[in-house]
Amino acid sequence: QSLPIFSSEEISKHNSKDNGIWVSYKDGVYDITDFVDLHPGGKKLTCEKIMLASGGPIDAFWNMYAVHKTDEVLEILEQYKIGSLSPEDQKPIDLNDPFSKDPFRLPVFRINSKKPFNAEPPIELLTDSYITPNELFYVRNHLPVPEIDPDSHRISVDLGDSSIQLSLEDLKTKFKPVTITTTIQCAGNRRQEMSDFKTKGLSWGPCAIGTARWTGARVRDILLSAGFDPDDKTIKHVHFNGFDDDITNTSYGASIPKQKAMSLDGDVIIAYKMNGVDIPRDHGYPVRAIVPGYVGARNVKWLRQITVGSDESTSHWQMNDYKAFSPSTTFETANYKKAPSIQEMPVISAISVPKPGSIIDPEDGMVEVKGYAWSGGGRDIMRVDVSADGGNTWQEASLTKDDPDADDSAHCWAWTLWTAEVPVAAGKVEIICKAIDSANNCQPEWIGPIWNLRGFLTNAWHRVNVTVEN
């Protein structure tokens, strides 16, 4: 007999134990709820990974986790077939669509824009591990993901009067590899909170942030080997250009101050590994700039060129984006030329557990609260305070860091995860957190005084509203 036909829309509704866990593979649709429940010992990992793909196709997903794609697993999957995928949803890729070559992404992402792809992981997964798994790291693309052949790709280091071309092999063998653990955060992280008032930009929640161990060559070493004179006072900025371009052939670009790029303490690298493996395509394969402590936008992905100049990059993203304004500045009065570029990031924190809207059954009147805290410029997190009574009383959270540089105050690039036990009263409760960094910077109480029409740098006290049962 013939099985029913399902659309990908219908499949996407089945992505939890409550609604059933469905996936599609090639033209088949499978209800794997029971399979996931069975948790066959050694297959636990497979189950957990498949859970991440629930409600969507697992084809490309399995290519990513090829080790799990055994005949045995495919046979098991066949037992759970419930239907076929509708022919419209099996469409071959449209070659006229510049985004058709974009890589596969996990369906668990909260998508803010599909083309270009912009997405953040769910908050409950974000702080599960100190190092964000590559496949859960937020993605912020302005353009289609370029396809780069790693063998022929060259990074051009152009110094005006001299120029060198580096292959991936050169980058890996000619320079001392360094590994830097750093948090990267988009300037638009938590913009959603400012969007109650009008802002221009994607509506990010609090998860446009992640932490990874990046391995690569120091930009300092690269520039020196290309003959750059660090004492040349006319040079003030180092520019990075990407391989991704728009219809006018303008590529993504950004710049950072020379001091940051050339300082040994700056730890600016051209990375070719993310958490020990090749950088995934969404995150810059094969090479990207890593600028610890600075705004995400300067960590140029798919790097094709490094240049130096007396001025900042003239790229749209350096000149007319990533700048904040006073709360009274309007779209009419915003003067992008005059406003300084956002570079070093301010102190921020956010609550990841409990989720907004949760109903909590407290144990002995206490609730466990978790989250992250981070500051830019290599500043460490000294303290995180949590309150569940409108800020009358505060509990100090216990802090977890796994940044090998955390002991060195000039080098704390990665975030701090924290946990606090907080007393709660029954009823509607607002849980608040705030962090203090190693320069004693603290977060503003609310977004009012920092509101800006672009919705950048939303670092007010983070608030989560929950209901506490009696």
Nearest approach, Cβ of residue 140 and ligand MTE (Å): 4
Within residues 249-308, the interface with ligand MTE by CB under 6 A covers 252, 282-283, 296-297, 299-302
Phi-psi region of 267 (alpha: psi -120 to 50; beta: other; left: phi over 0): left
- Non-local CB neighbours of 1 within 8 Å, separated by 6+ positions: none
Within residues 63-102, the interface with ligand MTE by CB under 6 A covers none
Whole-number Å distance between alpha carbons of 285 and 180: 17
**Which entry of Mo ion, ligand MTE, none binds 300, CB below 5 to 8 A by partner kind?**
ligand MTE
| Nearest alpha carbon to residue 403 among 137, 186, 214 | 214
Residue 62 or 137: which CB sits closer to ligand MTE? 137
User: 82: how many CB neighbours lie within 10 A of its CB?
Assistant: 15
Whole-number Å distance between alpha carbons of 149 and 167: 11
Nearest approach, Cβ of residue 244 and ligand MTE (Å): 5
Whole-number Å distance between alpha carbons of 240 and 249: 16
Residue 271 or 308: which CB sits closer to ligand MTE? 271
**Which entry of Mo ion, ligand MTE, none binds 302, CB below 5 to 8 A by partner kind?**
ligand MTE
| Nearest alpha carbon to residue 139 among 343, 24, 320, 279 | 279
Within residues 341-360, the interface with ligand MTE by CB under 6 A covers none
Q: Among 297, 300, 339, 431, which residue sits at the site for Mo ion (rule: CB under 5 A)?
A: 297
**Which entry of ligand MTE, Mo ion, none binds 346, CB below 5 to 8 A by partner kind?**
none
Q: Answer yes or no: are the C-beta atoms of 33 and 115 closer than 8 Å.
A: no
Nearest approach, Cβ of residue 119 and Mo ion (Å): 13
Q: Among 15, 46, 112, 141, which residue sits at the site for ligand MTE (rule: CB under 6 A)?
A: 141
Q: Among 14, 105, 140, 191, which residue sits at the site for Mo ion (rule: CB under 5 A)?
A: 140
State the number of binding residues for Mo ion (CB under 5 A).
Answer: 4
Q: Among 102, 244, 267, 405, which residue sits at the site for ligand MTE (rule: CB under 6 A)?
A: 244
Whole-number Å distance between alpha carbons of 286 and 154: 10
- Non-local CB neighbours of 9 within 8 Å, separated by 6+ positions: none
Residues 297-326: x where in contact with ligand MTE by CB under 6 A, - otherwise, as a string: x-xxxx------------------------
Indicate the length of the chain as a whole number.
470
Adjacent-strand bridge partners of 432: 387, 463
Region from 86-94, 131-139, 169-177, 442-450 binding ligand MTE, contact rule CB under 6 A: 131-139
Residue 68 or 142: which CB sits closer to Mo ion? 142
Q: Answer yes or no: are the C-beta atoms of 196 and 305 closer than 8 Å.
A: no
Spacing of C-alpha 32 from chain mean position: 29
Say whether 186 is catalytic: yes
Residue 24 or 458: which CB sits closer to ligand MTE? 458
- By CB under 6 A, residue 117 contacts ligand MTE: no
Nearest approach, Cβ of residue 172 and ligand MTE (Å): 20
Q: Could you give the 3-state DSSP secondary structure of residue 103?
A: coil
Residue 300 or 373: which CB sits closer to Mo ion? 300
- Non-local CB neighbours of 7 within 8 Å, separated by 6+ positions: 85, 86, 88, 89
Say whether 140 is catalytic: yes
Residues 441-460: x where in contact with ligand MTE by CB under 6 A, - otherwise, as a string: --------------------
Nearest approach, Cβ of residue 291 and Mo ion (Å): 12
Adjacent-strand bridge partners of 182: 212
Task: Give the Cα-Cα-Cα angle 222, 224, 226 (nearest 5 degrees).
Answer: 70
Nearest approach, Cβ of residue 315 and ligand MTE (Å): 10
Residue 218 or 288: which CB sits closer to Mo ion? 288
**Which entry of ligand MTE, Mo ion, none binds 142, CB below 5 to 8 A by partner kind?**
ligand MTE
Say whether 322 is catalytic: yes
Distance of CA 30 to CAs 60, 159, 344, 379, Å?
A: 16, 56, 47, 48
Residue 168 or 291: which CB sits closer to Mo ion? 291
Task: Give the Cα-Cα-Cα angle 283, 287, 290 (nearest 5 degrees).
Answer: 75
Q: Strands across the sheet with 359-360, in order? A: 359-360, 462-468, 427-437, 381-387, 395-396
Residue 54 or 141: which CB sits closer to Mo ion? 141
Distance of CA 10 to CAs 22, 83, 129, Å?
A: 9, 12, 32
Q: Among 242, 266, 286, 354, which residue sits at the site for ligand MTE (rule: CB under 6 A)?
A: 242
Catalytic residue among 14, 140, 213, 281: 140
Q: Which residues bind Mo ion (CB under 5 A)?
A: 140, 186, 296-297
List the catalytic residues.
Answer: 39, 68, 140, 186, 322
Q: Which residues bind ligand MTE (CB under 6 A)?
A: 137-143, 184, 186, 242, 244, 252, 282-283, 296-297, 299-302
